[in-house]
Structure 1
Amino acid sequence: MREENNAGAKPAVILLSGGLDSITVLALAQQQGFVCHALSFDYGQRHNAELEAARNIASHYQVAAHKVINLGLSSIGGSALTDAKIDVPTSPQTGIPVTYVPARNTIFLAFALGWAEVLQAHDVFIGVNAVDYSGYPDCRPEFIKAFQDMANLGTKAGVEGHKIQIHTPLISFSKAQIIQQGMALGVDYAATVSCYSADAEGRACGVCDACRLRAAGFAAAGVADPTRYRPH
């Protein structure tokens, strides 16, 4: 990984989960000339396969730095992704599903905001999507706008006139459009893990909400699905 920013290039913090959306955002930010600092979270999720994918992606893209922050959201639970007593659904749900992690994007963006201030970066990228998604309230444009308003009210950078911009380049894209965008950027989606219940080798279950949305996206984009599925 690069240790120093490129002269004259702008630093940015990229939230990197290791999934399909976040790798696309990283590729987009690099194409736009940002020096990317990737931020991932070990928040007590069911598996580490996505984090391992994030590490490999960060290395492949030679980001300036990659931090993995331990949060331990499993200590409060409340989500099928952080509480072993709640099963991950294997069929479509109505309303906000049990895979919603309470306040997750608020927490993630708060850490990204703090690191951006330290880096004197004015740009934070997150791969939220409000089209083909699971209905999480913290993926909506209204939430992002509210967070950005708060960020510029509650930071030294914002108060001193160095406004921080939260970039959501995929927010109005379908999964198929995201995949097509990524393919145009040369993204290797085989390197990503999206499954809520991936095994230790990163193989997907094929039946959770994330797997269904991902598979439908590849089908609609007319792109062969590179996901590794575990045998059933």
Structure 2
Amino acid sequence: MKKAIVLLSGGLDSSVALHLAKSQGFDVYALSFDYGQRHERELQSARETAKSAGVKEHHIVNMRLDLWGGSALTDQSIEVENGDVTRTDIPVTYVPARNMVFLSVAASYAEAIGSRDIFIGVSQVDYSGYVDCRQEFIDAMEAAINKGTVCGAEMDDPIHVHAPFIDKTKADEIRLGMELGVDFGLTWSCYRGGEKSCGTCDSCLLRAKAFEEAGYTDPLLEK
């Protein structure tokens, strides 16, 4: 079977992306990051999702992006603000160049194990203003990866970066996830962590809006 690297945060998007890759016949190798984020809760969800889905391997890489902060997710002195699903500015939860860093590591992992496919669950529709969730960024990263790897630059065997939800809403993802058997009760979206979702940060608001639009009840609300 072909191998696919799936960037797995433990959130809704990446969990659906993982199940989609499996449904397309890939052996899934999940890659998560302990990057000094505000809480451990999403990594717990990543572990549980990877185990539930029966991935081939699951690595959690320590990146320590909190060494320089610059985001409410990596700097405890910056407060996570209440959300606004209509915002057009860049939120304080944007982590500088995070997806660029993650995709670079995924490219190294992919080339090392002979994978030519990387899945990332970003969307430029419901993306809270993050600049690294746009199609032009994904295209540029794929081009850079294939300029900087032997398989891409010398062997004409390029790595492909799949962003299957780039033009889909989170509601679309939830409907697809339900078809694929995703256990959304294992996923986590809240930026603040804790025992229960705060319900007021950008990520919680987008998640609630998506489940409502998709016509389902969020299983996290039932716990």
Mapped contact 1:206–1:229 kept (Cα < 8 A)? no
Percent identity reads 51
Q: How does 1:115-134 map to 2 (within 5 A)?
A: 115-134=109-128
Pair 1:223 & 2:216 matched: yes
Q: Provide the rounded CA distance (Å) in 1 between the counterparts of 2:60 and 2:221.
A: 24
Output the amino acid matched with 1:39. L
* TM-score normalised by the chain length of structure 2: 0.96
- What secondary structure, in the 3-state scheme, does the structure 2 residue paired with 1:91 have? coil
* TM-score normalised by the chain length of structure 1: 0.93
Mapped contact 1:13–1:38 kept (Cα < 8 A)? yes
User: Which of 40, 58, 75 is 2:32 aligned to?
Assistant: 40
Pair 1:148 & 2:142 matched: yes
Pair 1:196 & 2:188 matched: no
Pair 1:173 & 2:168 matched: yes
Output the amino acid matched with 1:189. F
User: Which of 7, 12, 20 is 1:20 aligned to?
Assistant: 12
Partner of 1:80: 72
Q: Provide the rounded CA distance (Å) in 1 between the counterparts of 2:181 and 2:51.
A: 16
Mapped contact 1:44–1:72 kept (Cα < 8 A)? yes
Would you identify which runs of 4 or more consecutive aligned residues in structure 1 move more than 4 Å?
none
Q: Provide the rounded CA distance (Å) in 2 between the counterparts of 1:12 and 1:217.
A: 27
Give the helix-richer structure, 1 or 2: 2
Give ranges in structure 1 of 5+ residues lacking alignment. 1-8
Partner of 1:3: none
Give ranges in structure 2 of 5+ residues lacking alignment. none
How far residue 194 of structure 1 moved from its aligned partner, in angstroms, is 0.6
- What secondary structure, in the 3-state scheme, does the structure 2 residue paired with 1:40 have? strand
Partner of 2:206: 213
User: Which of 115, 139, 155 is 2:133 aligned to?
Assistant: 139
- What secondary structure, in the 3-state scheme, does the structure 2 residue paired with 1:47 have? coil
How far residue 94 of structure 1 moved from its aligned partner, in angstroms, is 4.2
Partner of 1:54: 46
Output the amino acid matched with 1:134. S
Mapped contact 1:205–1:229 kept (Cα < 8 A)? no
- What secondary structure, in the 3-state scheme, does the structure 1 residue paired with 2:192 have? coil
Mapped contact 2:99–2:132 kept (Cα < 8 A)? yes
- What secondary structure, in the 3-state scheme, does the structure 1 residue paired with 2:22 have? helix
CA RMSD of aligned residues (A): 1.2
Q: Provide the rounded CA distance (Å) in 2 between the counterparts of 1:120 and 1:46.
A: 33
- What secondary structure, in the 3-state scheme, does the structure 2 residue paired with 1:227 have? helix
Q: Provide the rounded CA distance (Å) in 2 between the counterparts of 1:35 and 1:94.
A: 38
How far residue 129 of structure 1 moved from its aligned partner, in angstroms, is 0.7
- What secondary structure, in the 3-state scheme, does the structure 2 residue paired with 1:124 have? strand
